[in-house]
Amino acid sequence: MGRPACILRAILGVVLLALVSGCGYSFTGGSVESTTEANRLDPAFREMAIIRVENPTVEAWLEPRLRGLLREEFTRRRVATWVERSKATALVTVNIKQYTRSTRVAGQQDQSVKLSTGMVLSIRVTRASDNLLLWDSGEQTQSESYYPGDSEAADLRLTDLAVRRLADLLTQGY
């Protein structure tokens, strides 16, 4: 292959890249700015602290699980930097309204063939200085079905999906 062919390929590559980027395609994950642009919160309110997880259920494991998942997901998406409450510009409150388990499908002798677990929760982000509401997710419902013996894994999937959904709502850029 001669030198003119290599030059032609390089030129075609540059032209193709220009055309693709002109169509609105972009490479993601490269910069903090591209991730934070879609965040609904002003950059001044990205230093957060979780102040409360309201959990009226008997499921004591929910509070630490949701705290950990929120921190991980918001950090991964560059939505927040977690700080002590005294240094926070925004405060996060999680409200678990409901957590349920039920039989979805019963067999001929009323044994559970398929079960379901569900949760209704919301997140509120307020300004630390005066408690002004910055963002409210509204009540979000998440459910997960599972087979007998898989309840623990279903709980993990349910909470993971619920937190991802909340993070999706916060990072929607419209």
The angle formed by the CA atoms of residues 164, 165 and 171, to the nearest 5 degrees, is 85
Residue 93: phi and psi, rounded to 5, are -120, 130
Measure the CA–CA gap between 46 and 58, rounded to whole angstroms. 32
Please tell me which residue, 14 or 34, carries the higher pLDDT value: 14
SS3 93: strand
pLDDT in tens, 25-72: 444 444 344 444 456 788 899 999 999 999 999 999 999 999 999 999
- The pLDDT of residue 37 is 43
pTM of the entire structure? Answer: 0.72
- Residue whose entry in the numeric block shows the structure tokens 């220009």: 18
Q: Where are the domains of the chain?
A: 36-171
Q: Do residues 23 and 67 make contact, with C-beta atoms less than 8 angstroms apart?
A: no
Name the percent of the chain lying above pLDDT 90.
59
pLDDT at 3 over 80: no
pLDDT at 166 over 60: yes
* pLDDT band, very low/low/confident/very high, at 170 (cuts 50, 70, 90): very high
- Report the chain's mean pLDDT, rounded to a whole number: 83
CATH 3.30.160.150 fits 36-171, yes or no: yes
Nearest to 69 by CA among 169, 165, 173, 174: 165
- The pLDDT of residue 174 is 45
pLDDT in tens, 94-120: 999 999 988 765 556 666 578 899 999
